Structure 1
């Protein structure tokens, strides 16, 4: 994708223009003039950062909390690379605890340092780090939270204030030098990581995990699978033996199920926002550990199972779980094309609704392609991290269905002739809602963004 048109939009301020939509978001970015004629929603146009790190609306400011390659304050080694999923937890005396994933593969640039009692597989380069911040977002400590895992992409928080980090791989022992099987979820205590250690939650399945969300009333854990090839990934739920049992309770096991939408083998075939499906079915996974066959290949009996390409972000909001399909390409085996979907599942009604669609009628050289991590904003809307080509953004979606650019990456990791920008990931808010934390994947950078959020 050419970045030229994006740069023009950035100069004109169109990237800060919010556009109300009715129906599919394919109508959103039809042209710069139309976008500008609607005026600004959100917080206004993005202002280029003179320091070349992060463009924000006027009145907002950022602090760099951590960058890959710097020394960890714990003295355990260097800050690992590939900053990905993240969450914020309340601490004592107004402090905030951040837990941050590092999606390092076997050849990760800066691996997560191995630490005794926190390392699953000494040959795994991924894991998590934990930061403690004071009330003004000054870093008080930074340390390893779990190590020896692999391709820690996203995850999600639990109601008891721990973090579930997800391995986005199915590599077995003996592959890529690993000494143990991978593809699991691990629980991380952000305050004292040694309380949770490095124990895989095997009952939650072994597959290419992406993200999770926990139903805070029932304790059900929803899981997304970001499979790269056909058959594509599934949307799962885990029914714990000890729902809402607190730290360590998920080790007691439970039942893993996959979602079946009757008559819909591939979610990409659904293109109209507002499309709703009732009587969603949940089917037991035959072999959660995938000892012989990856789960998405397994036999789910009559009616099959429902797949979707690039299932990524997952978040609980209100009485529903939201999850993202980042894109679907028919030339890669999907039933139809899109540049992103956001779905909502209401467990009380057993109802699935397509909330937002990006493309393919959208001009993909305009913002709004390939949504990834999502979270609820203090205003009640959504924040969505973009993971596509060209310029990279954090987008807001208001309660009224308006989309606006909240942040744009300014760190050029390409060349002047062919610029590139690292994707955003791990967007989350402080417990008081006054700070947005977000990662740039490459170069690994963690930002704290403050400003008039309540305006």
Structure 2
């Protein structure tokens, strides 16, 4: 489909631009969320002060903050004696009344010494050996590890996921690997539900949610929809929605129903331009569209189990809206955030006249059925070069995982081209660095705030580290 960009963007609202800045608007919160609105000022949080280098060379943090290492791949141990698996990725944090319980993904694509061990009762596919999966970590209020165990094993490339209202974690396989009779005895590319109690395990693929390179997901307040992202190329990935049958609400036993491939409906998002036609790729949109609501249509996916053709390839270009790296997803009571990590012109799968930029954060409103760009990262060549810690703390690119803090602002994990940061971002205000990886150039993953607002849990994917970061969060975020 040929695209008349001026037609698509006609009437778009002008918005502020700049590295890591968003236009003015209100912010959805966990407890009482509303979609971002144009021309409604939102009080910008107090700026985080410049980061202070860590004498240990691990994490640079603002003054008054500190970290505790909770797990380290190959060094800390599971209760069954094996070493903590590597490739830490997405997290969700729960509370058992005394300790925090962190369910953690391990993004491992095949049998390896630091894979998730196949513990009896937790295994989906015995053919993959010690590969991907999830561990569960009990952590006290001071960030100390009180025990770690396997929640699910025998899965592959567990990237991100999403928490459920009933206190479980939906872990996502970022792969489309089919059974091959040797290293894969079953098909992969599914979502699985993981419990934190150390006793419950149902390693059953939730086929109703599609088979593709999953990234993350969120369940809406009504428990009738699940929103899911796809990190894929050739062609670029999609943003999906699963809808429950009439009268059905998701709950603790829904895994049995979601295991049925045709249960509910499964659709992909199309963002509609002024002419009512789908915008082919988010790469056509820029900061000029900040906070402008776009109507959304949902297009059925013919074969969600992708028996012969990948889900995204079943839908023709121009009928849906694609995106380079649909990544983090996090839901509020009123809508869901979804991140596009980057969309630079000249890269694979993008038209030559696409607008160069590093990343976008979107907010989809359940009630309005519209989507708005709430934070925009323009192409940032400065993040690709330069020296010095201070320099990198002001040049951001590549937003990835996202979470909403207990006070309603966003925390983003950066997976960019230079130093990796954890970022505080408020739709309506600037973006600040709240942590920097001093150890290496590995990405941050899985930011998750405890519900009491005391602890931010986050991972460095390689060599596989989990941190509990504490400090005066309320001074800057509340």
Q: Same fold (TM over 0.5)?
A: yes
Unpaired stretches in structure 2, ≥5 consecutive residues = 1-13, 23-44, 258-262, 385-391
- The offset of 1:321, in angstroms, is 0.5
In structure 2, relative to structure 1, the CA distance for the partners of 1:385 and 1:299 (3 Å cut) is closer
Give the corresponding residue for 1:429: 449
Q: Distance in 2 between the 1:175 and 1:408 partners?
A: 43
- The offset of 1:329, in angstroms, is 2.9
Give the corresponding residue for 2:229: 224
Once the two structures are superposed, what CA deviation does each residue of 1:9-52 show, in whole Å capped at 9, x if it has no partner? Answer: xxxxxxxxxxxx952334869xxxxxxxxxx9533111111111
Say whether 1:328 aligns with 2:343: yes
Give the corresponding residue for 1:123: 127
- The offset of 1:84, in angstroms, is 0.2
Give the corresponding residue for 2:86: 81
Residue aligned with 2:295, SS? coil
Contact 2:383 2:417 in 1 (8 A): no
Residue aligned with 1:296, SS? helix
Contact 2:361 2:373 in 1 (8 A): yes
Give the corresponding residue for 2:284: 269
Unpaired stretches in structure 1, ≥5 consecutive residues = 1-20, 30-39, 413-420
Matching residue within 139, 145, 152 for 2:145: 139
Aligned positions of 1:346-357 closer than 5 A: 346-357=365-376
Contact 1:276 1:351 in 2 (8 A): no
Matching residue within 341, 348, 367 for 2:360: 341
Q: Distance in 1 between the 2:460 and 2:65 partners?
A: 17
**TM-score (norm: length of structure 2):** 0.82
Matching residue within 160, 168, 175 for 1:162: 168
Contact 2:358 2:380 in 1 (8 A): no
Contact 1:155 1:166 in 2 (8 A): yes
Aligned positions of 1:297-312 closer than 5 A: 297-299=313-315, 304-312=319-327
Say whether 1:370 aligns with 2:391: no
Q: Distance in 2 between the 1:27 and 1:392 partners?
A: 14
Residue aligned with 1:334, SS? coil
Residue aligned with 2:378, SS? coil
In structure 2, relative to structure 1, the CA distance for the partners of 1:77 and 1:166 (3 Å cut) is same
Say whether 1:258 aligns with 2:277: no
Q: Distance in 2 between the 1:386 and 1:172 partners?
A: 31
CA RMSD of aligned residues (A): 2.2
Contact 2:73 2:465 in 1 (8 A): yes
Contact 1:65 1:138 in 2 (8 A): yes
In structure 2, relative to structure 1, the CA distance for the partners of 1:292 and 1:156 (3 Å cut) is same
Give the corresponding residue for 2:438: 410
- The offset of 1:173, in angstroms, is 0.5
How many residue pairs match? The answer is 413
Contact 2:103 2:137 in 1 (8 A): yes
In structure 2, relative to structure 1, the CA distance for the partners of 1:244 and 1:161 (3 Å cut) is farther
By relative contact order (CA 8 Å, sep 6+), the higher-ranking structure is 2
- The offset of 1:372, in angstroms, is 0.4
Q: Distance in 2 between the 1:381 and 1:280 partners?
A: 24
Contact 1:42 1:396 in 2 (8 A): no
- The offset of 1:275, in angstroms, is 5.3
- The offset of 1:388, in angstroms, is 1.3
Aligned positions of 1:19-418 closer than 5 A: 23-26=16-19, 41-93=46-98, 95-106=99-110, 108=112, 110-124=114-128, 125-174=131-180, 177-192=183-198, 194-227=199-232, 229-241=233-245, 243-252=248-257, 253-262=263-272, 263=277, 264-272=279-287, 273-274=289-290, 276-299=292-315, 304-331=319-346, 332-335=348-351, 336=354, 337-360=356-379, 363-365=382-384, 366=392, 367-398=395-426, 400-412=428-440
Q: Distance in 2 between the 1:150 and 1:454 partners?
A: 38
Give the corresponding residue for 2:36: none
Residue aligned with 1:25, SS? coil
